[in-house]
Amino acid sequence: MTPLLEVVNVDKSFGVKVVDAMSLQVNERDALGIVGPNGAGKTTLLNLIAGDLSCDRGSILIEGEDITRTSSDWRCRRGLARTAQIPRPFEGMTVFENVLVGAVFGAGVPMNEAQATPVAVEALERANLLAAANTRAGALPLLGRKRMELARALATRPKILLLDEIAGGLTEAEVLELVETIKAIGASGVTIVWIEHIVHALLAVVDRIMAMSFGTKIAEGDPAEVMASPEVQEVYLGVEPE
């Protein structure tokens, strides 16, 4: 079976190598978690996949199709969506308008507003944000902004959803709420790649974890096994090997 998303031997350097010979395969309906200490290159990897950054070497494929040289808006229409670590709403617009932009332009098929409106409403429902639809986006609290990032991404009807520390900065209760939302999104058939520091949130959703350090993969596999492995304990949790 062709993997839905494939990262093949990708390098990215900003003077120092931030992503180094990274390879990764994600199959349809997978939920992959990515962990690693700050500066491990996780967000850079996500930016490379989403097309915000271009690879120095290697390639990125969706359903076997090489998309390494395509722009981020093209990749969005091709089925990739990402949320930003620090939410970036279009502040002057309402929440609904924000999501409508994604619905109209992100689907990959020309769509007028009448056709896009139900898509936007559904995305808001799935992100559990319908009640705030007419709020000005700039006025949302943090959890609302995170949910709006989710809703906007869902409105583009992605095959793969890339989440960048979406639980970061939330209270414990908010994290649990958001985990339920993300679980439901995964269950609806969307493939998830999720970078997160809050491990218990990640463990509640993902079925595989990849651990990164200094731009390279140090472990990948069953979440519990990866988190318990000596390599991860050492670099990620700061436990010295005995």
Partner 1 sequence: MEWLNAVVQGIMLGGLFALFATGLSIAFGVMRFVNLAHGDLAILGAFVAVSVTSGLSLNPFVSLVVVVPIMLAAGYAMQLGVFNFTISADPLPSILVTFGLGVVIQNALLETYSADSRGLDVGSIEVESITLTDAIAIGWIPLITLAAAVAVLLGLQAMLSRTSLGRAFRAVSDDPATARLMGINDRNLYAVAMGIAFATVAIAGVFLGIRQSFGPTDGPAQLLYAFEAVVIGGLGSVWGTLVGGLLLGIAHGLGGQFEVSFGYGSGPLLGHLVFLAVLATKPTGLLGRRDA
Residue 136 interacts with partner 1 (CB under 8 A): yes or no:
no
Q: What does the longest C-alpha to C-alpha distance in the chain come to? A: 63
Spatial separation of the C-alpha atoms in residues 8 and 60, rounded to whole Å: 6
- In the list 67, 81, 151, 161, the residue contacting partner 1 (rule: CB under 8 A) is 81
Nearer to partner 1, 99 or 202 (CB): 99
Residue 186 interacts with partner 1 (CB under 8 A): yes or no:
no
Residue 231 interacts with partner 1 (CB under 8 A): yes or no:
no
Site pattern 150..179 for partner 1 (x: CB under 8 A): --x---x-----------------------
Spatial separation of the C-alpha atoms in residues 150 and 185, rounded to whole Å: 10
Residue 112 interacts with partner 1 (CB under 8 A): yes or no:
yes
H or E element that contains 121: helix 113-126
Question: SS3 letters for 181-238?
Answer: HHHHHHHCCCEEEEECCCHHHHHHHCCEEEEEECCEEEEEECHHHHHHCHHHHHHCCC
Residue 69 interacts with partner 1 (CB under 8 A): yes or no:
no
Instruction: Provide the residue type at 97 as one letter.
Output: E
| Binding footprint of partner 1, residue count (CB under 8 A) | 31
Give the C-alpha distances (Å, rounded to integers) separating 152 from 26, 78, 93, 157. 22, 15, 13, 9
Of 47-55, 179-187, 218-226, 230-238, the window that binds partner 1 (rule: CB under 8 A) is 47-55
Residue 84 interacts with partner 1 (CB under 8 A): yes or no:
yes
Task: Report phi then psi at 171, rounded to 5.
Answer: -75, 165
- In the list 97, 122, 177, 207, the residue contacting partner 1 (rule: CB under 8 A) is 97
Sign for the CA dihedral angle at 211, 183, 97, 143 comes to negative
Nearer to partner 1, 128 or 156 (CB): 156
Nearer to partner 1, 74 or 187 (CB): 74
Residues forming the site for partner 1 (CB under 8 A) = 50-52, 71-74, 76-77, 81-82, 84, 88, 90-93, 97, 100-102, 104-108, 112-113, 116, 152, 156
